[in-house]
Amino acid sequence: MFNILVVEDDRSLRTLFCTVLSKNGFAYFEAKDGIEAWDILEKHYIDLIISDIMMPNMDGYELVKSMREVGYNIPVLMITAKDSFEDMQSGFHVGTDDYMVKPVNVNEMVLRVNALLRRSQIVNEKKLKLDEMELLYDDFTVYLNGESMILPQKEFLILYKLLSNLNKVFTRHQLMDEIWGVDTESDPHTLEVHISRIRERFRKNVPFEIITIRGLGYKAVKCNV
């Protein structure tokens, strides 16, 4: 059973989230701010955190930032009333993994929690398997149809990101920020070139397809070989 830490200063909302998580088979811990969350983290093993941003004593940004600084890689789903792009950018910049804006659809929240947990397991194992295709993160190697191929680093990271999140659309900005870094001076056209190279390398007999979402970005979908 996975342990979820819910950090939310609104008691009724915190209770709602915990009730929904419990009904979906999760164990939960509660905290009303980042200080209480840290106390729980030091005493219990936590698989994922759901956190508000605006809280007394220590807010969500401070909590995530301090976690990442000391090496905690626990997935964080930020849930907040702050819905501007700048707020979302700030959350991702400190190390947030996903973001939802209030009012929250609790069924969608559970879907996102499950997706983050699956993604976390993939990252921890540092390998990804899709049918007969396997990607090994540590050495940027792809095994397919009995053959191995070492990819250039950024091509591998793009492919690994997309295949780890099948059917999820990533904007060009998201991929550029994650693969090249938020302060990169690389032209966005660089991403298109790398996507084209990946498609060229895996034209035939592969269990996936990278689809361009016009005006937005890319997603990978599973297909039959």
Read out DSSP for the chain? --EEEEE-S-HHHHHHHHHHHHHTT-EEEEESSHHHHHHHHTTS--SEEEE-SS-SSS-HHHHHHHHHHTT----EEEEES--SHHHHHHHHHHT--EEEESSP-HHHHHHHHHHHHHHHHHHHHTEEEETTEEEEGGGTEEEETTEEEEPPHHHHHHHHHHHHTTT--EEHHHHHHHHH-TT----THHHHHHHHHHHHHT-SS-SEEEEEETTTEEEEEE---
Q: What is the pLDDT of residues 191-204, one digit of tens each?
A: 999 999 999 999 88
Q: What is the pLDDT of residue 225?
A: 64
Q: What is the pLDDT of residues 15-50, one digit of tens each?
A: 999 999 999 999 899 999 999 999 998 888 888 999
Query: Looking at the predicted structure, is the pLDDT value of residue 114 above 70?
Result: yes
Instruction: Enumerate domains of the chain plus CATH numbers.
Output: 3-123 (3.40.50.2300), 126-222 (1.10.10.10)
pTM: 0.58
Q: What is the pLDDT of residues 93-103, one digit of tens each?
A: 788 888 898 88
152-173 average pLDDT score = 90
